[in-house]
Chains A and B, each alone.
Chain A
Amino acid sequence: MAGQADVTQRTESGASPGGEPSPSPVRTYLLNCGSSSLADRTFSFLMLLCALSIFAIVLLILIELISGSKLTISKFGMSFFFGSAWDPVNGNFGALPFIYGTVVSSILSLIIAVPLAVGVAIFLTEMCPAWLRGFLAFFTELLAAIPSVVYGLWAVFVLVPLLRQYVNPFLINTLGWSGIFAGPNYGIGMLAAGVILSIMILPIISSLTREVMSAVPYAQREAVLALGATRWEMIRMGVLRNARIGIVGAVILGLGRALGETMAVTMVIGNRPEIARSLLAPGYSMASVIANEFSEASDELYLSALIEIGLALFIVTIIVNALARVLVWAVTRGAPVRGT
């Protein structure tokens, strides 16, 4: 808008003093062609409105969830999150088994996924030949786009039988004494949920780690190599040390995904609201209890309890994601333009 006013002024002042020819017809045409500052202002206002809609969505979700869960918030207060009773018939609700299930399955998935994801990222940024890198990057991108219900389908028909036949008996025989891998072997359960979650969050962690690692300036690598370091020492001291905050961010982002993952987990976790010590026992997660019971919730209090679980999930994932973004941003800010 300011530029517009400028142009008009200049043409006027240019034309008046020396008696030069008036602005060309092309220019007059362009200037008169919908160039009112009103149109400009309306346009930028509309764009601003659409941008603000993102804040509106977050607020809307928050308000809807809070108003939907008023009933349980006033009835149970904080004890909702520490009680382990889940008894819709008698109207007694506690979310602890679900929180436990969500946390344990997510941590399990991180334990499996993080070392592998970092290994893949190191391979892709520092060791991989260029032709293979393009293919692998494309492939991981593809896997990040596969819907979670398809992962669930695969897990139900391939992963669970595999765990039941080969992996679980082995774990029970070798580590059964610890109590973590004990009890009846159903195949479905916390371990199955953790494994499928780890497969799902691997692509996102590894691609973000890769992004962070390639943001480390090349001079850094060259300096370490020039001191006589081997390649591994260069990666460890020159790259990983500089990128570690961003890698932590990538891991936290993966955690955020794992916490909110619904369909695949619902299909393999076993859906039993109890806290068991064994990882082979069925459990339940916050997202899957909502998915399973929401449309069957008969009375107000039941529905309100489920919405409150959703509210907790929303707030936790918002915090986790915000933290992750800040950490990743801290590393990639001011990074040179990448030319992969």
Chain B
Amino acid sequence: MASNVVMPPLRAGASNRLWRVFANHLATLAAVGATIVVMAPLIAIFGYLLYKGASSLNFAFFTQIPKPVGEVGGGMANSIVGSGVLLAIASLMGVPIGIAGGIYIAEFGRNKRLANMVRFTADVLNGVPSIVMGIAIYTLIVVPQKHFSALSGGVALGIMMIPTITRTTEEMLLMVPLNVREAALGLGVPNWRSVLSITLRTASPGVITGCMLAFARVAGETAPLLFTAFGNQFWSTSVNEPIAALPLQIFIYAISPYDEWHRLAWAGALVLIVLIVVSVALVRYVAGRGVLKGAS
């Protein structure tokens, strides 16, 4: 091993050996302990969420709009629809651009410096705080329009989807064996056809699940919506007006001092989590089977 390891002087006999065995057990214990310490609160979060959410969820949650303070009942129907509108705008923008970016890196930019730079930038962009996106979209769209709107919220979320989708699409396309492409080209299929209907199609389960993962991630984003979509206590589906969103409503209710609103916040959190768990599970299921497994 490296020469700068400071080894303790070798002592002959049992004491040295005893110490090493002891240290080994100590380390094992520490690692197992760390895992338990980490998993315990995580399971606690999950269990508590399920418990609280399930006990506060009812039919009215999905059919009614929020009621004023003091009145019992009400739901988040407008927020659920609002989230749907926002996510539709975001997907319309993020999915095509993201997939096209991934196609460029995997199919046209192999071993090119530009493709490496795009990949690197996408990774870095993935780590940019979502609230910063919110500010940028605020000055870009909300200020000229002079009012908050669903459109601006959707664009903010769409921009956040692009780097994630680009990276997963690229990874999935790289898993498609090279000879599939060669077979297509050998038959005289033009390159663009081969990319779209052979390579992308072969990788489509992976690409779709990558999109779902990005979708689930932005579905829970609150920070970029605070001053773009802004939230709305009433029905609205217009893209030009402020619109309600599930995570936004959870935030507003969570920091409020009313028990009834807290109950709704828990129910909303559960709905959000179910959406995310289902898509993550789907991703794992699809990624773990099919033509892609063991290809690369």
Contact = CB atoms under 8 A, between A and B. Distances in A.
Contacts of B98: 50
Contact of A1 (B2, B100, B191): B191
Nearest to A310: B135
B129 A262 contact: yes
A142 B1 CA distance: 38
A314 B48 contact: no
B191 A40 contact: yes
A150 B49 CA distance: 9
Which among B129, B162, B216, B222 has the highest number of chain A CB atoms within 10 Å? B129
Given A7-B188, A141-B280, A154 B131 contact: no
Nearest to A35: B190
Interface string B108-124: 11000011011011111
B31 A287 contact: no
A146 B226 CA distance: 19
Given A61-B136, A127-B31, A290-B135, A4 B254 contact: no
Given A153-B269, A235-B27, A267 B254 contact: yes
A253 B103 CA distance: 26
- Residue from B23, B26, B123, B272 with most neighbouring chain A CB atoms (10 Å): B123
A interface: dominant SS:
helix
Please classify how large the interface on chain A is, using the bins under 10, 10 to 19, 20 to 34, 35 or more: 35 or more
B130 A262 contact: yes
A168 B245 CA distance: 36
B33 A259 contact: no
Interface in B226-259: 226-227, 230, 247, 250-251, 254-255
Interface stretch (A85-93, A118-126, A178-186, A276-284): A118-126
B163 interface: yes
Contact of B120 (A60, A199, A325): A325
B59 interface: no
A289 to B, nearest CB: 10
A232 B193 contact: no
Interface size band for B: 35 or more
B139 A67 contact: yes
Interface string B1-36: 110010000000000000011011011101111110
B42 interface: yes
B195 interface: yes
B132 interface: yes
Nearest to B217: A145
> Helix, strand, loop or mixed for chain B's interface?
helix
A336 B278 CA distance: 31
Given A27-B188, A145-B276, A151-B45, A136 B250 contact: no
Contact of B190 (A40, A120, A202, A320): A40
B151 interface: no
Given A51-B118, A60-B140, A149-B250, A261 B129 contact: yes
B69 interface: no
B100 A55 contact: no
A39 B196 CA distance: 13
A158 to B, nearest CB: 6
Given A51-B109, A154-B48, A260 B127 contact: yes
Interface stretch (A41-49, A76-84, A169-177): A41-49
B34 A146 contact: no
Given A146-B276, A152-B251, A263-B223, A44 B131 contact: no
B192 A39 contact: yes
A335 interface: no
Interface in A295-317: 295, 306-307, 310, 313-314, 317
A142 B277 contact: yes
Interface in A1-54: 1, 3-4, 7, 27, 30-31, 33-36, 39-40, 42-44, 46-54
A151 B118 CA distance: 32
- Chain B CB within 10 Å — which of A1, A199, A290, A306 has the most? A290
Interface in A216-247: 224, 230-233, 235-238, 241
Rank and list the top 8 A-B pairs by shortest CB-CB distance, nearest first: A147-B220, A260-B129, A119-B34, A50-B100, A43-B192, A321-B127, A232-B27, A51-B104
19 contacts: A27-B188, A54-B101, A57-B162, A119-B33, A120-B35, A138-B281, A143-B45, A145-B217, A147-B220, A157-B262, A230-B21, A232-B28, A233-B23, A238-B1, A307-B135, A307-B139, A310-B131, A310-B135, A325-B120
Interface of A: 1, 3-4, 7, 27, 30-31, 33-36, 39-40, 42-44, 46-55, 57-58, 60-61, 64-65, 67-68, 115-120, 122-124, 126-127, 136, 138-143, 145-154, 156-158, 199, 202, 206, 224, 230-233, 235-238, 241, 253, 256-257, 259-263, 267, 287, 290-291, 294-295, 306-307, 310, 313-314, 317-318, 320-322, 324-325, 337
